[in-house]
Amino acid sequence: MKKCYKRMPRVALTIDVEQDAAPFLNTWQGVEKGLPLMLEVLAKHDVPATFFVTGLAAERFPELIAEISQRYEVSCHGYEHERFDKLAVDEQRQRIQKATEILQKITGTKPLGFKAPNFKFTVQTLAILEEIGYVYDASKASYKRAPRQSCSSLVEIPNTLPSTLLHLPFWLSRQVLSLCLCFLPLVVLDYHPWEVVEISNARFDLRFATGDKALNRLDRTISYLHTTGARFVTLKEVALYRATQG
């Protein structure tokens, strides 16, 4: 497809660090086997990324998360990949606070961003994030319904495409990405480490085109994005820039 953008498009790669195919499984093969493979791909291309890490993942893999935080942005993905729209306000606050403290202790930095697991949250979730001092929220997806946000100072950065993009044949996902780059100033993509390993006990649809195929598509996608001249950014970078623009 011919390039049609007038200014340099920006792309943010985000990776959710959580249990396998949450909430369907309680295993961690993705973090144990898939995450190191994804880190190799990111390092090979020398691109930044934002990792949304659950408090539980950080407790189980503190050294790995600390290492990731040396090179990439680490933000918060709840405590145990809970559905925030199903929790009472106090419970939501307690879990966000707990996950925030764990991440801060392990990485040495307070996370600036939050993404609600499964993109499920309430207006109170946003109020809690503001109260705790978060700068941005990435809990919305442009392809999912979301609660209306009341006046909030949080910078809102929605996810652009579902992670199933990684499962499409490369020629097709490239066309979709190309269109997004034409029309959007920022394209936010999300990936999961469990998608790049073959998890034998997962449901068929969750296993479709995963493992090496998915890892290879991630690699090819980043190569393709480089050819478009897209600039890779972290969500923190986007949020801090937007916050200064008012």
Task: Give the footprint of Zn ion on this chain (CB under 5 A).
Answer: 16, 18, 117
User: Least distance in Å: CB of 81 to Zn ion?
Assistant: 6
User: Least distance in Å: CB of 33 to Zn ion?
Assistant: 18
- Decide whether 116 or 230 has the Cβ nearer to Zn ion: 116
- Decide whether 16 or 233 has the Cβ nearer to Zn ion: 16
- Decide whether 138 or 180 has the Cβ nearer to Zn ion: 138
Q: Which residue is nearest to Zn ion (CB)?
A: 16
- Decide whether 18 or 20 has the Cβ nearer to Zn ion: 18
User: Least distance in Å: CB of 25 to Zn ion?
Assistant: 12
User: Least distance in Å: CB of 51 to Zn ion?
Assistant: 11
- Decide whether 99 or 230 has the Cβ nearer to Zn ion: 99
Give the integer Cα–Cα distance in Å for 117 and 80: 9
SS3 of the chain: the string is CCCCCCCCCEEEEEEEECCCCCCCCCCCHHHHHHHHHHHHHHHHHCCCCEEEECHHHHHHCHHHHHHHHHHCEEEECCCCCCCHHHCCHHHHHHHHHHHHHHHHHHHCCCCCEECCHHHCCCHHHHHHHHHHCCCEECCCECCCCCCCCCCCCCEECCECECHHHHHCCHHHHHHHHHHHHHHCCEEEEEECHHHHCCCCCCCHHHHCCCCHHHHHHHHHHHHHHHHHCCEECCHHHHHHHHHHHC
Amino acid in position 233: V
User: Least distance in Å: CB of 77 to Zn ion?
Assistant: 6
- Decide whether 142 or 223 has the Cβ nearer to Zn ion: 142
User: Least distance in Å: CB of 75 to Zn ion?
Assistant: 12
